[in-house]
A and B are shown apart, each in its own frame.
Chain A
Amino acid sequence: KNEVEQSPQNLTAQEGEFITINCSYSVGISALHWLQQHPGGGIVSLFMLSSGKKKHGRLIATINIQEKHSSLHITASHPRDSAVYICAVSLRGGADGLTFGKGTHLIIQP
């Protein structure tokens, strides 16, 4: 069993829809990261969180430490949001290498 599980694996939605991507993890963590990888391959860090909720523009990330679960939400989705969204965790305290989920392939159709 992977330490980080994401769902769904693939998601196609219409422009304007509210999007939710889920991430569950099975180990203790010091932080959870949401990353975005565009078709060209570049990776952008969207959020790093260890508790509560963070918002940036149309993106919202939440985490429930007790339930070992995080969600990434996209409001008013747009075709430019089409990308792979990756959940990753820092397993031990302090700076360390990330452990990644397999990613969610999101396609937003106009």
Chain B
Amino acid sequence: NAGVMQNPRHLVRRRGQEARLRCSPMKGHSHVYWYRQLPEEGLKFMVYLQKENIIDESGMPKERFSAEFPKEGPSILRIQQVVRGDSAAYFCASSLSRGGEIADTQYFGPGTRLTVL
């Protein structure tokens, strides 16, 4: 059973370009989370999605960032018109859905290291 997969592992973009980060959750997992780790800082929540729905995007910057988790295919985190401050490691995690008030273990992907020149 493959774990959470992310690609690319490393991504270099020039200022003003677009960055697309992909995340394939573990088989059977319907919850996807995106987190950002800025250099020398801790992890921060960005967005939580289920298939075709954004559940919580309270951690997402209001501009230039968007996320989707379509019915088919991986979840995508898209950053438009990247700036140097977007350079960071972006981690995706997935979990099972057990419903109700029960939290579940989140399994992390290897991350995408984005460098903006």
**Nearest Cβ in chain B — how far from A98, in angstroms?**
6
CA distance A90 to B93 in the complex (A): 14
A73 to chain B, nearest CB (A): 20
A90 lies within 8 A of B45 (CB): no
A6 CB to nearest B CB, Å: 9
Q: In the assembled complex, which residues on chain A have CB atoms less than 8 Å from the CB atom of B58?
A: 97
User: Whose C-beta in chain A lies nearest to the C-beta of B107?
Assistant: A45
- A50, A88, A97: most-surrounded residue (chain B CB, <10 A): A97
How far, in Å, is A32 (CB) from chain B's closest CB? 9
User: Contact at A45–B106, with CB atoms within 8 Å?
Assistant: yes
Among A17-25, A60-68, A100-108, the stretch in contact with B: A100-108
A110: Cβ under 8 A from any B Cβ: no
A46 to chain B, nearest CB (A): 10
- Asked if A100 meets B44 with Cβ closer than 8 Å, knowing A30-B101, A94-B103, the reply is yes
Question: How far is the CB of B57 from the nearest CB of chain A, in Å?
Answer: 10
- Name the contact of A95 in the complex, choosing from B31, B59, B111 (C-beta under 8 A): B31
Query: Closest approach, in angstroms, between the C-beta of B67 and any C-beta of chain A?
Result: 12
Q: Which residue of B lies closest to A100 (CB)?
A: B43
Chain B residues within 8 Å of A, Cβ to Cβ: 31, 33, 35, 41-48, 55-56, 58-59, 89, 91, 95, 97-108, 110-111, 113
Could you show 14 A-B contacts with beta carbons less than 8 Å apart?
A: A30-B103, A43-B108, A43-B111, A48-B105, A90-B103, A93-B103, A95-B98, A95-B103, A97-B33, A97-B45, A97-B48, A97-B59, A98-B33, A98-B35
Q: Which residues of A contact B (CB under 8 A)?
A: 30-31, 33, 35, 41-45, 48, 50, 86, 88, 90, 93-103
